[in-house]
Amino acid sequence: MGHRKVNAPRRGSLAYLPRGRAKSQIGRIRFWPKLETGPALLGFMGYKAGMTHVFMVEDKAGSPNFGKEVVSPVTVLDVPPVLVCAVRAYTKNEYGLQTFTEAWMKDPPDDLDRVFTLPESFDPNQNLKRLDENIDKMAEFRLIAATQPRLARVHKKKPEVMEIRVDGGSIKEQFEYAKNLLGKTISVTEIFKEGQLVDVIAVTKGKGWQGPVKRWGVKIRDRKSRKTKRGIGCLGPWNPHRVLYTVARAGQMGYSQRTEYNKRILKIGTDGKVVSPKSGFIHYGPVQGTYILLAGSLPGPVKRLVRLRYPVRPPRKLPEAPPKVTQISLESPQG
């Protein structure tokens, strides 16, 4: 009687090792795309309010439902306007981008003191003049923007501060564009439009410490198995004398930064009552101001900050016209 060969697929993906906790609850953008048009901001941010579904006309050519009304799940983002607090300039050398200087707005809001200690006096004109004199040395400009959580339903006062890159046109045009926005508030309607694709950067839900069955999807062993059922059958070979990183073990699950590419904006509006259920979204409440409907689901729990970016790997063909949303479901289960 010959030995029976046992074949089994490996459990879980090794693509995101090590599976540790994210350093920050705010997603970090490490790469920005290039723009062929004039100067513009490449990103924005908002708070995840919840999910619903919409009825829309399928406009993807080649789809069997092309021209028909279909149902699509959507995520609602609460996107209050952000405040441009400063303009930061970068030079470039053999070590990469180096900060040259930054020009802050004249009277920053008091809530910024909750993030870091601000200098006692500001003179934006002096730093802006210095930037203008050294414009030939500049490689890129980024705006330091602060969220306004008081305008959302996240029940916090401390704003999130982050950089948003300015790209497109010449470096002189980028500087003039950034200088004109200093100290002003920007709405998402000035950056994105309906039907556009965006990349979503956020930190996923944290699951805490989980075993190999839930964390890696290993098979639960037989009820008569020795010692344990919700564990692996073998830690590995005798040689090498260590447990390999490919072996499914217990550990932290979730709370990791993830980037989802090419999420389509189905609708942008300024009245949140249009998308909010009668009793509000569970654990969030009603959306008050500007909102975005993104097709599909997004990483993270409700109230998590979600960063949006121009797509870095867009598809070749896109529908030219914005999608036609015929109805937005306002039914929400009560939690």
Residue pLDDT, tens place only, 53-99: 999 999 988 899 999 999 999 999 999 999 999 999 999 999 999 99
Shared domain check, 65 and 105: no
Shared domain check, 318 and 202: yes
> What pLDDT is stored for residue 316 in this prediction?
87
> What pLDDT is stored for residue 34 in this prediction?
94
* CATH code of the domain containing 104: 3.30.1430.10
Place of tokens 């906790």: 21
Kindly state whether residue 38 falls inside one of the protein's structural domains.
no
Shared domain check, 199 and 58: yes
Kindly state whether residue 110 falls inside one of the protein's structural domains.
yes
Shared domain check, 163 and 63: no
Residue 145: phi, psi to the nearest 5? Answer: -110, 145
Number of domains in the chain: 3
**Radius of gyration in angstroms for the set of CA atoms belonging to the chain, rounded to a whole number:** 24
How far is the C-alpha of 9 from the C-alpha of 117, rounded, in Å?
53
Q: For residue range 217-246, what is the model confidence (pLDDT) as tens digits?
A: 999 999 999 889 999 989 999 999 999 999
Q: Is 17:296 a contact under the CB 8 Å cutoff?
A: no
> What pLDDT is stored for residue 239 in this prediction?
95
Mean pLDDT of the chain: 93
Give residue 67's domain range.
14-27+47-79+195-209+252-335
Kindly state whether residue 301 falls inside one of the protein's structural domains.
yes
How far is the C-alpha of 161 from the C-alpha of 114, rounded, in Å?
11
**Omega before 240 within 30 of 0, i.e. cis:** yes
Shared domain check, 203 and 302: yes
Shared domain check, 220 and 172: no
Kindly state whether residue 218 falls inside one of the protein's structural domains.
yes
Kindly state whether residue 265 falls inside one of the protein's structural domains.
yes
For the entire predicted model, the pTM comes to: 0.92
Calculate helix-pair angle for 171-181, 124-133, nearest 10 degrees. Answer: 170
> What pLDDT is stored for residue 116 in this prediction?
87
Shared domain check, 276 and 222: no
Q: For residue range 100-157, what is the model confidence (pLDDT) as tens digits?
A: 999 999 888 999 999 988 877 677 888 899 999 999 999 999 999 999 999 999 999 9
Kindly state whether residue 317 falls inside one of the protein's structural domains.
yes
